[in-house]
Structure 1
């Protein structure tokens, strides 16, 4: 029976010999020993003991062979796991939160109900807990990420490479305290050379109270993505600056046109007022009316200069969500007060349409389009009519301006002629502003033959953006 012990001692897990190689000699030695001691005169009991001994050796050999096969399977499985673990492009390291959970449970037992407030008021304890987190394993991608050359030189504790000013560890502690099943966050870690590396880490946390000694974290290096975001932001700023300079250039070329229009009107109104005053007796009512119109024209010029100055002084454009219908209403009401005898028909949407853009430029755009439409009707002001309507679909919002006259205009329509406020620099400026916001402008002769139709189309933005 003692030969079974020989098999157990021989199979220590490191021998390359199969158990059968040991079992055969042991069985032969058991038979030889039996023959030496009993010869050919052994009785039945002694023969049964020999059979039992040989059976014990055989069973031990079979069990050891089975254990050997299981060890080989486990070794192959470990090798396959290690190969997969180290061949992943995704960095992974394993945490041991056992001591941290013991500390958190002790805090809870001591009466700490608001863990977040406690950790916020005790940064020293947070640093202590961070030092208790052990790093038990890491794959090759993790070592490359942090600039390590071997597992022996990898960080042993989380505090070795997590900066002290990091806030994500507190979020992780709160997730552990809540027994959350997962935890994800972006943070910075310190590499072997002291450089800060942006990462995204995701961990699956135990919820049954066990397994805190092997919590794996999957780590994604965000360095390239952050660099691309920075480059994209720089490109966006350069694009905005280029568009801004283009718009400023358009403004500079159109200022003379935008301002000369009301200045010409002022001169015409003042000449008319002088004629009314030269009459005998002077017609003071008509003189007051044209002087008021000259005053409105002067306000138009002042407004143009003020808006241009504001855009230039700000230095760069700032986009925001702008409600479309209120923007149109403000511009239309401002023009209506300066043209009280003109017929206005205003039909606006429900106010749920938004556009993403620069408020001052959009106000300048809408005011120029409405004002240009009014001046396209070559007839007295009291004979002009303007219809303003907004519409929208899932992608765009639209402003439709229809300008006409009650009677045939004194000046015939010329097909290639643009409205007064929309000719040359004025139209190019309006189109530049519309294109800056991703939109377009269409100006056509209306069916009545006494004015124009203007359509402004801009991309629609959601109010949740």
Structure 2
């Protein structure tokens, strides 16, 4: 059987060999020349056990053979002319001790080789693996840890892990208090390399406990995800940019509706101002009519201000801000913006909004962008229809999946050309479009926004013709329960 090299067992040095030979020679001399009636040869067992620390299988067997020969040689020199039972028994005891020690040394050697091979496997992985005791002192440090953190094994061993790596816990990782009585933990951490650069890792802990359940050692396996995190951040930034560009593009398409929505209250303000002026210029000013005209001017001014605020919110590039709202609120924000577009395309609107509407948690601007995308797509899908009524139906309702899960559903249905089943699954894919001048990002962004709100969006063919889009968002039941308790009897 071929002998395997071991990383955990020291290679024999000149000092080891000298000490072993000296020990064998001393035992042989005592056994041969000292007038002692004891089994001195049993001391060879000590040499054999010690040799297992730096000799391989063949070396141990060679030392065993030398000890056996020297035991027999010593007996032959001292008792060559006598076969007394005492010396024979002592020789047999020594040989038995040598045999038992050899078996123990071989077994220890095999166990040490097995541990060495397992440790060598940990060096083959690309992950950083290290072990720390209950005092956070590092007791094992593999090659992956050397490569990731930059500290050689000799410098890392004996150091406290948190102090060496300057560990920071990300909010998503929670805290290690969740370990409790468990022996597993996983989360994302920030560690500092030897060159002071920070790396983000997915850390997995396995805790070894004693018979009383107290932790005695922890093996930590860390995978570097720094580049992945940077890529995710860049992707999130790009997606935000694309959402903003699409929103501005959509608002550009709705310029006529926006202008109409703003001009209406402005025109009313002018009309009421002129009327109020006429009432003031009469021989007997009618102050009551003037007051009513001023009140209408103020009301229309506020209406114009609200329209401009909604437009600024849609056009503004900002981080999502989730608040409690309803899908009916979103529809109320969107309809004035698309009203002119519907009129110019001779599209009738049918609203069937459930009241009271279920509450959801969402970003008002992002959800408005989703509804605008769906409504504009529906209007454009009906722009070429001439043989039937162009009808846009918007419905909101509550859907109960089970006793603990309820959804707020918004349906946008048109009577346009419908959806080809072959491409239905691709409609929400980025840059897939059925329009000659389309970018193919509106529905893709809509799905991304709805997914980020914990909901879903789907499309099917309408009841008779056209397409039916459904947006589902989880109902915020806790807020609804609080609102119900606050209602007057």
- TM-score, structure 1 length as denominator? 0.56
Instruction: Name the counterpart of 1:191.
Output: 193
Q: Superposition pairs for residues 13-412 of structure 1, below 5 Å?
A: 13=51, 14=54, 16=59, 17-35=62-80, 39=81, 42=82, 47-97=84-134, 100=135, 133-152=136-155, 156-163=159-166, 171-172=175-176, 174=177, 178-205=180-207, 206=209, 208-209=211-212, 212-252=215-255, 255=258, 302=304, 306=308, 309-311=311-313, 314-316=316-318, 318=320, 320=322, 323-325=326-328, 327-328=330-331, 346=352, 348=354, 351=357, 358-361=366-369, 389-390=395-396, 397-400=410-413
- Equivalences, count: 343
Higher relative contact order (CA 8 A, sep 6+): 1
Shift of 1:59: 0.7
- TM-score, structure 2 length as denominator? 0.53
Say which one has the larger Rg: 1
CA deviations 1:341-396 (Å, max 9, x no partner) are: x9988464884596876355567789999999xxxxxxxxxxxx998644688997
In structure 2, do the counterparts of structure 1 residues 258 and 331 end up closer, same or farther at CA, with 3 Å as the change threshold? closer
> Secondary structure of the equivalent of 1:460?
strand
In structure 2, do the counterparts of structure 1 residues 139 and 4 end up closer, same or farther at CA, with 3 Å as the change threshold? same
For residues 32 and 324 of structure 1, the distance between their equivalents in structure 2, rounded to whole angstroms, comes to 106
> Secondary structure of the equivalent of 1:461?
strand
Shift of 1:192: 0.3
Contact 1:201 1:219 in 2 (8 A): yes
Contact 2:130 2:219 in 1 (8 A): yes
* RMSD between superposed Cα atoms in Å: 5.5
In structure 2, do the counterparts of structure 1 residues 165 and 68 end up closer, same or farther at CA, with 3 Å as the change threshold? closer
For residues 170 and 371 of structure 1, the distance between their equivalents in structure 2, rounded to whole angstroms, comes to 47
Unaligned stretches of 5+ residues in structure 1: 101-132, 271-294, 336-341, 373-384, 403-427, 448-452
Contact 1:202 1:219 in 2 (8 A): yes
Contact 1:189 1:199 in 2 (8 A): yes
For residues 343 and 150 of structure 1, the distance between their equivalents in structure 2, rounded to whole angstroms, comes to 72
Unaligned stretches of 5+ residues in structure 2: 1-37, 273-296, 339-347, 381-390, 402-406, 416-436, 448-456, 478-489
> Secondary structure of the equivalent of 2:166?
coil
Contact 2:137 2:160 in 1 (8 A): yes
For residues 22 and 202 of structure 1, the distance between their equivalents in structure 2, rounded to whole angstroms, comes to 50
In structure 2, do the counterparts of structure 1 residues 389 and 167 end up closer, same or farther at CA, with 3 Å as the change threshold? closer
> Secondary structure of the equivalent of 2:150?
coil
Shift of 1:198: 1.9
> Secondary structure of the equivalent of 1:232?
helix
In structure 2, do the counterparts of structure 1 residues 307 and 251 end up closer, same or farther at CA, with 3 Å as the change threshold? farther
